[in-house]
Amino acid sequence: DQQVKQNSPSLSVQEGRISILNCDYTNSMFDYFLWYKKYPAEGPTFLISISSIKDKNEDGRFTVFLNKSAKHLSLHIVPSQPGDSAVYFCAASLHNFNKFYFGSGTKLNVKP
């Protein structure tokens, strides 16, 4: 049973517009959430994270929003650039239980 779900396998966005990637989770005890980006033939790289005690974290063009009541996480990329085209993985952790869970990924295509 997947505890972290990314229901959109792919997303296509025009350059300069906003990209919104979504992630849902089932366990209200998750205390930390992360987004990783993966280019073809490379390993995932860390992008941005958020603690469960916050509802927003921003880093340049990337902002992660956390809605705990809805158990929903989203990553906003503004403005989107062709170099953002990659697979994005959402992840969640239970620090006290030393557990990690990844979503299945969303492939973002930013069209020039």
- What residues make contact with another protein under the rule CB under 8 A? 6, 32, 34, 36, 41-46, 49, 51, 89, 93, 95, 98-105
Q: How far apart are CA 110 and CA 90, in angstroms?
A: 19
For another protein, the closer CB: 21 or 34: 34
For another protein, the closer CB: 98 or 112: 98
Min separation Cβ 66 and another protein, Å: 14
Sequence-ordered strand ranges (E) for the chain:
4-5, 10-14, 19-25, 32-38, 45-51, 56-59, 62-67, 72-77, 86-94, 99-102, 106-111
Min separation Cβ 50 and another protein, Å: 9
For another protein, the closer CB: 69 or 98: 98
Q: Name 105's Cβ contacts closer than 8 Å, sequence gap at least 6.
A: 6, 9, 38, 87, 88, 89
Min separation Cβ 21 and another protein, Å: 14
